[in-house]
Amino acid sequence: MITQIKGKLLEKNPTNIIIDCNGVGYFINISLNTFSQIPDNENVTILTHLQIKEDAHSLYGFYSKAERDIFRLLISVSGIGTSTARTMLSSLTPKQIREGIAAEDVGLIQSVKGIGLKTAQRVIIELKDKVIKIYDFDEVIPLQSNTNKDEALSALDVLGFSKKQSERIVDKVIAAQPDCSVETIIKQALKNL
């Protein structure tokens, strides 16, 4: 298995890089997280994961061991392929993913494009014990879910507002009035959207 490639950086794009290693150009798929960390120097060392399928051999590259470890944990979950794992690592840092899984933060995992509620729950169920054991988390207290916030965000989503924008406004409303009802949150949010 190819575990790392060291060579001259020929091309750098947000989704892939090409490294020349002794005259052979390796096409390596990367996340935005890795893209932002790779220096524009000529010589680079990239940790890799080789995915072999019947129709393709694909290399996935990582700037840090932590990111590669999380990638490998994610693809061990049924329903999470290499593309989804790469999307997760483009949206969240490895640390955010680890902490989200350990704290059972379904909303955080679900915030990644293409991850639904059931997939987010499956990721947490299948990986929580491994993450806590590998990364030596102490007692993890699940984040308290604000059901009023969740219901308000769901309603705003149905009304066609973007999730990120809605979440930002709803957080401001809740910060100003922590004990307000779902209706109040929605009304206040609609005034600001």
Q: Mean pLDDT for each consecutive 10-residue tract of the chain (193 residues)?
A: 92 94 95 90 91 92 94 93 93 91 89 89 91 67 60 83 83 81 84 80
Q: Into how many domains does the chain fold?
A: 3
Q: Look up the CATH number of the domain holding residue 102.
A: 1.10.150.20
> Within 13 A of 165's CA, how many CA atoms are on the CB side?
11
Q: Look up the CATH number of the domain holding residue 49.
A: 2.40.50.140
CA 12: distance to chain centroid? Answer: 21
Instruction: Calculate the CA dihedral of residues 84, 89, 95, 98 and round it to 10 degrees.
Output: 10
Classify 63 as helix, strand or coil: coil
Query: Where do we find the tokens 């693809």?
Result: 75
pLDDT value of position 142: 44
pTM of the model: 0.68
pLDDT value of position 169: 87
pLDDT value of position 143: 43
Of 32, 62, 92, the last residue of a domain is 62
Buried b (16+ CB within 10 A) or exposed e, 19-38: beeeeeebebbbbebbbeee
Whether 57 and 100 share a structural domain: no
Classify 52 as helix, strand or coil: strand
CB 5 within 8 A of CB 43: no
Does the residue 45 lie in any domain? Answer: yes
pLDDT value of position 138: 54
No. of H helices and E strands in the chain? 9, 5
Q: Which range of residues forms the domain containing residue 151? A: 147-192
Of 134, 162, 180, the last residue of a domain is 134
pLDDT value of position 145: 47
Classify 47 as helix, strand or coil: strand
